[in-house]
Amino acid sequence: MLQAGVVTALGTMSGTSLDGVDVAVLHTDGARIAGFGPSAYRAYTTGEQAILKAHLGRWQNEDCAQAAKIVENTHIAAMQPFDDIQIAGFHGQTLAHDPGGRGTHQCGDGGRLAQALGYPVVWDFRSNDVAAGGQGAPLAPFYHFALAKWIKADAPVAFLNLGGVGNITWIDPACDAPEDPAALLAFDTGPANAPMNDLMRLRHGLGYDADGALAAQGRADPAMIATFMAHPYFAQPAPKSLDRDAFDWLGKAVADLPDADALATLAQAVVHSVAAACSLCPVMPQKILVTGGGRANKTVMAGLANALTCDVVPVEAVGLNGDMLEAQAFAYLAVRAARGLPLSSPQTTGVPAPLSGGRVSSQAKSQQVYSIAKTAN
């Protein structure tokens, strides 16, 4: 049983960019942030990345043992150095995501981590939401709400996460709780780093375009951008979510372009998709705080600054750690899940009512945290 009040939680994230495992400590009671702790990063090797990429699109009933072993072993290694942890949130590695269809699959067994680490591990965060009719993503918005309170935002702000896929959380910090109907709007914006990273691995054997330097030398193809923005996803109302490979055709579309022009086109696709996302927000946020690896891409950041009418800055501008924010989010969600608090709402995943979820594994047993619909007070 988790003690009352503020606890020390450890969160992990292995995103769709397949770069590695982020691990971060958060002190929280599941509602407010009390403080931040240390963090670490464990990169996947080239071989591990290749195996994980080969398993993308596979479901729970398919052979994923090799990928699961990599995910579990790397997480255990990254988490072991941390002391005095009371609970952990293990996101796993998303291999497939098809809300409304086959469901969602985050590879990795939290029970094995709990056995190895000796403290409770919360995992399988998305399945409950998808089973209830939600998109199962994004799940960081409730943490973004807590961060908006932490930085004392006094006007609507947005967090923009540029990972493999982009997602945005619009927040009204005047609301009391994240499940309040007017507090949040969150959804996936479109592809972000994944197509650019895939191109760099394919053509140069590199993980990414450092600083967006190669993209800065190219010219975007306007016809390809127009085709991209004509995709029906952008006309769908929010909330909505994407699988990493939902736009895999985009990488193929730029295959015949020179390196710089291909990357410039992919960078502009990110910019246009984020601009379209902002048009769906209740009002334009006063500021967009960018997290995830994409905030280091100067070409993307410059494009966003030119395309949008509000300030666009990395989250470090308000004292946050953009490399570890997603890992911190799953530490926060682990505490909420263990206490039966909602992790998602109609405004974040489209689930019918605010809903808890996840599975809690201890050294002794694993149990489902059953659906708990909580309406705003």
pLDDT for the residue 17: 76
pLDDT for the residue 98: 85
Query: In whole angstroms, what is the distance from residue 97 CA to residue 78 CA?
Result: 25
pLDDT for the residue 345: 97
| 372: its two tokens | 């708990």
The per-residue DSSP string of 294-329 comes to GGG-HHHHHHHHHH-SSEEEEGGGGT--TTTHHHHH
Match 């963090």 to its residue by tokens.
Answer: 39
Model confidence, pTM: 0.91
pLDDT for the residue 99: 87
pLDDT for the residue 171: 98
DSSP strand pairing (121-123 vs 359-361): antiparallel
State which residues of the chain have pLDDT below 70. 363-377
Burial class (CB in 10 A: 0-12, 13-18, 19+), 103: middle
Task: Please write the tens of the pLDDT for every residue from 187-232.
Answer: 999 999 999 999 999 999 998 999 999 999 999 999 999 999 999 9
pLDDT for the residue 335: 98
* Domains of the chain, CATH where assigned: 7-136+324-368 (3.30.420.40), 152-318 (3.30.420.40)
pLDDT for the residue 167: 93
pLDDT for the residue 207: 87
